[in-house]
Structures are given as structure tokens and as C-alpha cells.
Amino acid sequence: MGKPTGFLEYKREQAPYRNPIERINDWQELNNSLPEEKLKEQAARCMECGTPFCHSGMIINGVASGCPNHNLPPEWNDLVYRGLWKEAFQRLVKINNFPEFTGRVCPALCEGACTGGLIGSPVTVKNIECAIIDRAFEEGWLKPQPPVKRTGKKVAVVGSGPAGLAAAAQLNKAGHWVTVFERADRVGGLLMYGIPNMKLDKKYVQRRVELMEAEGIKFLTGTEVGKNYPAKELLKEFDAVVLCGGATKPRDLAIEGRNLKGVHFAVEFLSANTKSLLDTNLEDGNFISAQDKDVIVIGGGDTGTDCVGTSLRHRCKSVTQLEIMPQLPLERGSNNPWPEYPRVHKVDYGQQEAAAIFGEDPRQYCITAKKFVGDEQGQLKEVHTVKVEWVKDDLGRFTPREIAGTEKVWPAQLVLLAMGFTGPEETLFEQLGVERDERSNAKAEYGKFATNLEGVFSAGDMRRGQSLVIWAINEGRGAARECDRYLMGSTNLL
């Protein structure tokens, strides 16, 4: 696996981001790439560790340790180190349908469980993964591979996010005729409209969609099942259905002033921006602009960071990110040992850019919004906040308690609510009669993915709740496997 002494000879190097002051002037991807020799050195750091936790996908303390999709970094790291790029590509795509997506947007659970990280720095798995698939496209190794034989079975996949695309790709591979329903005007779901262009250039999404179309998959855009396409028609027209509609109901903040102009869900802000960018390079004005505004982003995580980065590209006057939770430690705590995913403080691209422009990280911790205040025209002008401390209640659970005397008023003309999602929308479930679990998701056991309706399966965020792209791919593949088994009595899908 790589070079036996590589982890001693070479230090970890990541593909660097472009200069923050440069990159906020465009919507191009953040990353520069490492040259081939550097990539080989990084691949050489992959140790012969005996038990490679990087692809274990174990759940420890409620979080995946290692890749949930059981990717095989030791194998393709070794092949990259030896210069066998095509062979590395062949190993990479055995498990992951879309490395060009995960290689750009995945938080790299594999690296969190890397044995190298136990005593030093983990291998740069994510960078190498992205380099392999990008080279495969450049070299022409990825060509349409429609199935040699068709089964005659028809399958509908509802939703074209990562779960839906993975399910469609696998079911098509098995020889079924697959139709993917997407309510937006472009295919890709969260990959297209949920992730900003600087993190995932949409040309990569479109490139993959075109490849899938050439392999025989049919995409119907502008078609919302349950609205302009009756849900029960799916049961009449198709032999099986896989529901991958995502968890698209954003979590709201029910405080005074919520209905003021200028308070928006993050998903509205981000999706409209990407659509306008793709349609007219933002010239049509059909987006929520942060230009010359004091912006308050409520919520951390990737979505909050994306709101910060997008606001900066709009030329906002200021940007502040409010997080109710305390700042994570700079290093692993004793309660977060390897190979658990490291819960440590990170500075992501948006915070890095804000610090470069305004001189400091925009995040404020242990703080919560109490009310929004507007002017006579109903336009937001202020956010009132208070600091909190986390204390244990009578049941031993940590809860936030307001700290008297810490009230503050922030000028704001735009608030973006980036507090996650509560679950899928109800219309589709209600029309089909799909049972839901206590969290309002489709009730379908992991590993089986079957709903209460015969021939109807569910996967991704619609089944498990808001999660990662790699989990969506894992679930889409799993649902395809069980759908194929249902249709044919057995399956060869992984």
C-alpha cells in the first residue's frame, strides 16, 4: 500500500485553495490541483496499516468512522504511487458512482479514520480521489456503457440528487429502463442548486448527467411528482419506484419579526443565486442579493459557510455568522479518540475569505437570535441577540441558558437561516400512502429500503434525514440493489 516508509518521508500536503482575495471575484472552483509528482508522494504516505479503517464505515457514537460507501483508498493510493492511473480509476469506480462529486464536497470521513492520523497527519485521500476521476475524464477512459441486455422492466426514480442519480445508474447497469423525475429545470438536485458553484462547478454535474443519458437513462425535468404528475401514475406506469426526493423542508426560526422582508431561508438564497448564475451570469437579477448589506447568517455547518462565501461574492457590507453551539476544540478531546471522526475546530473557505476581507472570522459562538426588528416599510434593519451558556438539566441533558447582560443589537438588512432541514415534504407521501417514521421520513429499513408499498423503495435524505453526499450515494446504491432483487428475484449489484 503505497511506499512502506512514505508516511515518514513525506509530510501531508493538500491541494491549496486559490488566494481568498482573488477567488471572491469569481464563481470558479476554490481548489488548485497538486502536480502529479506531489500526488504520488501523497499516495506514498498510505501505510500498510493491516486494518484500513478508512473504508470501514463503522458507526461510532452516532457518527460514521471511515467511508460509509466502503471506498478503497489503500488500493488506489498504491496504484497512483506506482503511476498506474487507469487501474486506480478502475478500482475507484467499483464502489463510488460519482467520485468527481465526493472528491470535491465530501468532508472526507475516510481521512478522519486514517491510521496515519493516529500518530500524525492522515493521507490526503480526497485530493487523490478527485485527481483520479478528473484524469479519467481527461484521458477519455469514461465512455457510455449501456447494458448489453435489457430486462424489459421499467423503474421510476423520483429526485435527481446524489441518491437518485446513484440509484438510477445502478438500476440502468442491471438492465432496467430507468426514468428520473426532477421538478427543477436542471438535473442534479442538491448537487446542482444546493451547493454553490465555487465548491462544485456545475459543468461536472452536467457532464455526468450527459454520460448517464448516453447510457440509456431518461431524465424528465420540470416534472414534480405529486403536483404536475400524479403520484399514483407511478404505480401504474412502472414496475418499481425509488423515492429519493431529499429532505427539503428547512428548519425555521419562530421569533418576533420572522415575516419581515429580508429574512430568508439559506436554500432560497443559494438556489436562486446558482440558477441566475447559470442562466445569465447573474444579469437577470433573479436572486436575493447581499450587495452593500449587513448580512447575518444564523447557523453553522456547510450551508452557513456557503451563505458567507456567496454573500462575499455579492460584495456585502459585512457578514456575521451566529452559532448557538460553543466553538469546537482545536485538537481531539479525550472523549473523541481515533478512529472517530475528529470533532475539531476548522476554518472553511467562507470564514477564510471573510477574515481576509474584514480581518476576522465571522463566527460568533454561544449566541442566539431573540427577535428581528424592521422599519416602517417592513424591511429588516436589526437582529437582537443574547449569549447563552450550556448547562445540564434535571435529566442530565445540556440545554442553552441565556446570560443576562449579554444582549446585543446587530445592524442587518439580510438574514439567512441556515439551520438544517426537518425532513421531506408531505405531498408525495400522502398521495402514495407511504408510511413515515417519527422524524417524518419515509419508513424504510436501512439495508432493505422497502416502504410499506410493494415495489416502492426510498433512499437518501428522504429516508434517513439530512445527511452527506456520500451517504446519499451509499443509500441510492443500496436501494437499487434491493429494487433489482425485487424485480428479478436476485441481484448482482453491489
Domains of the chain in start order, with CATH, are 6-139 (1.10.1060.10), 154-248+422-488 (3.50.50.60), 252-419 (3.50.50.60)
Identity (one letter) of the amino acid at 22? Answer: E
pTM: 0.96
Q: What is the pLDDT of residue 49?
A: 87
Asked if residues 408 and 385 have their Cβ atoms less than 8 Å apart, the reply is: yes
CA 387, distance to chain mean position in Å, is 30
> For residues 187 and 383, what is the distance between their CA atoms, to the nearest angstrom?
37
Please, which residues have CB within 8 angstroms of residue 4's CB and are 6 or more apart in sequence? 47, 48
Rounded Cα distance, 123 and 387, in Å: 39
pLDDT of residue 119: 84
Distance, CA of 1 to CA of 58 (rounded, Å)? 22
Low-confidence ranges of the chain (pLDDT < 50): none
d(CA 319, CA 307): 9
For the chain, the farthest-separated pair of C-alpha atoms sits apart, in whole angstroms, at: 71
Among the listed residues 236, 250, 260, 256, the one whose alpha carbon sits nearest the alpha carbon of residue 378: 260
For residue 339, whether the previous peptide bond is cis, meaning omega lies within 30 degrees of 0, is yes
Distances 10 to 4, 40, 41, 128 between C-alpha atoms, Å: 12, 10, 7, 15
> How many angstroms from the chain centroid is the CA of residue 17?
19
Would you state the cell numbers that stand for residue 342, as one nine-digit string? 475528529
List strand residue ranges (DSSP E) for 35-182, in order.
Answer: 58-60, 63-65, 154-158, 177-181
Residue 180 vs residues 165, 224, 287, 382: alpha-carbon distances, Å: 8, 11, 27, 44
Give Cβ neighbours of residue 294 (< 8 Å, ≥ 6 apart).
316, 317, 318, 319, 320, 410, 411, 412, 413, 414
Tell me the C-alpha distance between 153 and 193, whole Å. 31
Distances 151 to 233, 259, 487 between C-alpha atoms, Å:
21, 53, 9
* DSSP H/E element including 456: strand 456-458
Contact indicator for 20, 352 with CB cutoff of 8 Å:
yes
Cβ partners under 8 Å of residue 119, min gap 6:
none
For residue 195, which of 349, 343, 366 has the smallest C-alpha distance? 349
Residue 336 identity: N
Q: Are 33 and 131 in contact (CB under 8 A)?
A: yes
